[in-house]
Amino acid sequence: MNSGPIDFEVCARDGAARVGRLGTAHGTIVTPAFMPVGTRAAVKAMAPDELRTLGYGMILANAYHLAVRPGADVVRELGGLHRFMGWQGAVLTDSGGFQAMSLAKTNSIDESGICFRSHLDGQRLVFTPESAIEIQERLGADIMMSLDECTAYPADAARARSSLELTARWAERSLKARRSVAQALFGIVQGGVYPELRKLSAGQITALGFDGFAVGGLAVGEPKAQMREIAALSAGLLPADKPRYLMGVGTPQDVVAAVAMGYDMFDCVLPTRNARNGSAFTSEGRISIKHARYARDGSPLDPDCDCRTCRTFSRGYLRHLYMAGEILAARALTEHNLHFYSRLMREAQAAISSGTYDAFARGLMAAGPDWEEGPDKATNNVA
Amino acid sequence: MNSGPIDFEVCARDGAARVGRLGTAHGTIVTPAFMPVGTRAAVKAMAPDELRTLGYGMILANAYHLAVRPGADVVRELGGLHRFMGWQGAVLTDSGGFQAMSLAKTNSIDESGICFRSHLDGQRLVFTPESAIEIQERLGADIMMSLDECTAYPADAARARSSLELTARWAERSLKARRSVAQALFGIVQGGVYPELRKLSAGQITALGFDGFAVGGLAVGEPKAQMREIAALSAGLLPADKPRYLMGVGTPQDVVAAVAMGYDMFDCVLPTRNARNGSAFTSEGRISIKHARYARDGSPLDPDCDCRTCRTFSRGYLRHLYMAGEILAARALTEHNLHFYSRLMREAQAAISSGTYDAFARGLMAAGPDWEEGPDKATNNVA
């Protein structure tokens, strides 16, 4: 559909939901796609060949964290992110804007950029829109994200407005700073929980020549209903011929709902972080493996799953591993949870292609299992 | 060679070294064989199919640790150790005698057995020779170990003597307690660092009807030269038609030396524990991956290795993973170290079969790389 660093083609539609093909220099990804989070150039507990086997074609890494350690130059010297990680698929790098919010205590923001104090050793690290691009180019990301100011929740309208205006000025600077024609660059829409401000931001960002568009600043603590309302509104403000990426979302229900809105790309730490905390996504809802009731349970984590974990281990064994602090517990649960998300996306794609997405989504959303985190709080990638 | 729960056949000899076939209900293991340590029914950081791929046919688990958590009944209810772990190969269980020494502060020993205070919650747990067998039968081990009193180092001759005499009385009780005809039972020779006491103990233990014989109480802190001297002496005191197992040994040099003495089986936490501490066994010696000099090193851990870690990752990436505390660091280094030991055993087998073991061992021992732990201390399975 374009001749830039990525190709995006919509292959099927069902309402606003769509199936697409996102072509990158490291393979074609069928969308809607979920990206496992590999903050420090590793998806926690997983080996790269396992991610491939699970059906993933693209992962997310974080420019800020990698700039702190081991440094973008080291990654470049070792062949760029793909070779560094031994990962054959595509990589999207987040810019560091989210960390300016999540690590806000030690940072300051002004017109020029974000001044981080390293969360490791207190060293000063300045991220400007220009340096964020330079770092991501050095890392060798297939898709780079422009530096944004991720608006925290709560924020009043004046604060949200100044934040989105800064994000727009940074977006222009990001595009000007780009040197690599082989790496795609996405812009990020902000605007907090204010519909009018989301419209303003989307108008500003989509007027620029980005290869795709992300909606940021959601799932940062606002009520779930508000997250979905703003996400739905924002999706409709983004061009139909470019990939749409809802950042940091989310639970299986969130993802299924967002696919219906027309989003194509997602990332979230939930499947990996929850796994390390002993929590599994299953066809029967969420399971906390530490519960004593699983101690003598010989059945698999999810009777409706054919992942390696469910083919090999019982709930009783997984509970034992978790209670004993064995690394294999984190591995086995992470593999299962990532399999669960991968399968969810394949099922969503199939439902869109066959024109049955509405029934698929309703089945999961209404009478389906409960995978939510809490009563009404959205969660995000606090990496 | 016998019709008991295991078959052992010596296929080739070279000096005292021999290649054997150890047939169990869960497959045949070519000896000399190294057993990875899976104390709590998991080889730390590894999945069972990976152990198989690495060439392992038998692993070790620990009766004491599993009796404490999750309990032998739970393991039995969940199908026994093999099904519990999802492990197709054979399992040898250590009895708990070693833990009576390594966790000595909280234990007491008398004629009846060992009274443990659980290292987890202080609960009282009595291991008698009879209950140690019962627990191992419940766990479903292919090879059980009789309960011994592992003599600590240093111990004077009187202490070592009373300890080996107790071990011999417990050995008789262990054999009488056995109910399962499908599970093999090995006796353990003690005697500290005293040649005469080793002869006495070996005479007592080999007079009993065990399926194989182990040498215990070595690599517990005595000087390396003394460990090798006693190990060599002890090997010659064990019957040639039964498997000989040198417990808790050791470094690659230790294993290579012990194979020359006629030992067939080994276990040690070194490859797995060292991996989690960032230390790798390579054809160039030991590497501590945390060293800054590896930060920009694009070469594999071991240029002479074809394991998944060496095929996929650079030293620079592995160092990054280790410094960042990523689980993948433990996985990748463990997989490499276990591959190193597996290959070492295959090479030892081949050298014996071709009558070149002496040259093989000399090459590794004299001019070869240094894999030792420290100047002269032997190390053991402090699980």
The ipTM (two decimal places) reads 0.96
CATH placement of domain B7-268? 3.20.20.105
Chain B residues in contact with A296 (beta carbon < 8 A): 74, 77-78
3-state DSSP assignment of residue B137? helix
DSSP A224-255: HHHHHHHHHHHHTTS-TTS-EEETT--SHHHH
What gap in Å lies between CA A182 and CA B39, rounded to an integer? 50
pLDDT of residue B377 exceeding 60, the answer is: no
- Least confident span in A110-124, A240-254, B13-27: A110-124
**Is A48's Cβ below 8 Å from some Cβ in B?**
yes
**Is B32's Cβ below 8 Å from some Cβ in A?**
no
Confidence grade of residue B323 (pLDDT, cut at 50, 70, 90):
very high
Confidence grade of residue B373 (pLDDT, cut at 50, 70, 90):
low
DSSP A114-138: EEEEPTTT--EEEE-HHHHHHHHHH
What gap in Å lies between CA B168 and CA B160, rounded to an integer? 12
| Subunit contact B70:A326, Cβ cutoff 8 A | no
What gap in Å lies between CA A8 and CA A243, rounded to an integer? 7
Adjacent-strand bridge partners of B143: B92, B184
What gap in Å lies between CA A300 and CA A220, rounded to an integer? 34
Catalytic residues of B: 94, 267
3-state DSSP assignment of residue A93? strand
CA distances from A265 to A29, A91, A248, A342, B138 (A): 10, 13, 10, 12, 50
Confidence grade of residue A74 (pLDDT, cut at 50, 70, 90):
very high
Query: Are A170 and A148 within 8 A, CB to CB?
Result: yes
Q: Which residue has the higher pLDDT, A152 or A1?
A: A152
Q: Which of B44, B324, B327 is closest, CB to CB, to A45?
A: B327
Residue A22 has a pLDDT of 98
pLDDT of residue B380 exceeding 70, the answer is: no
What confidence tens digit (pLDDT) does each residue in A233-292 have? 999 999 999 999 999 999 999 999 999 999 999 999 999 999 999 999 999 999 999 999
pLDDT of residue A129 exceeding 70, the answer is: yes
Q: Angle, nearest 10°, between helix axes A327-353 and A315-323?
A: 130
**Is A41's Cβ below 8 Å from some Cβ in B?**
yes
Confidence grade of residue B367 (pLDDT, cut at 50, 70, 90):
low
| Subunit contact A42:B324, Cβ cutoff 8 A | yes
Chain B residues in contact with A312 (beta carbon < 8 A): 47-49, 86
Chain B residues in contact with A50 (beta carbon < 8 A): none
Counting one residue from chain A and one from chain B, the pairs whose CB atoms sit within 8 A come to: 116
What gap in Å lies between CA A212 and CA A191, rounded to an integer? 18
Instruction: Work out the average pLDDT over B183-188.
Output: 98
CA nearest A149: which of A105, A103, A96, A195?
A96
pLDDT of residue A377 exceeding 50, the answer is: no
Query: Are A272 and A45 within 8 A, CB to CB?
Result: yes
Q: Which residue has the higher pLDDT, A104 or A14?
A: A14
Q: What angle do CA B82, B86, B120 make, to 5 degrees?
A: 75
Q: What angle do CA B272, A328, B324 make, to 5 degrees?
A: 70
Instruction: Work out the average pLDDT over A141-168.
Output: 97
Query: How far does the CA of residue B207 sit from the closest CA of chain A (Å)?
Result: 39
pLDDT of residue A370 exceeding 90, the answer is: no
pLDDT of residue A151 exceeding 60, the answer is: yes
* Domain residue ranges in chain A: 29-268, 274-365
pLDDT of residue B186 exceeding 70, the answer is: yes
pLDDT of residue A350 exceeding 70, the answer is: yes
Confidence grade of residue A375 (pLDDT, cut at 50, 70, 90):
very low
Query: Are B346 and B249 within 8 A, CB to CB?
Result: no
Q: Among all residues of chain A, which has the CA nearest to that of B317?
A: A84
Give phi and psi for B9, each to the nearest 5: -135, 130
Q: Strands A90-94 and A184-189: what pairing? A: unpaired
CA nearest B207: which of B158, B162, B248, B242?
B242
Q: How many helices (H) and strands (E) does chain A have?
A: 15, 16
Residue A376 has a pLDDT of 44
What confidence tens digit (pLDDT) does each residue in A318-335 have? 999 999 999 999 999 999
**Is A295's Cβ below 8 Å from some Cβ in B?**
yes
Catalytic residues of A: 94, 267
Residue B374 has a pLDDT of 54
Assigned superfamily of A29-268: Queuine tRNA-ribosyltransferase-like (3.20.20.105)
pLDDT of residue B108 exceeding 50, the answer is: yes
Full-model pTM: 0.96
What gap in Å lies between CA A50 and CA B34, rounded to an integer? 27
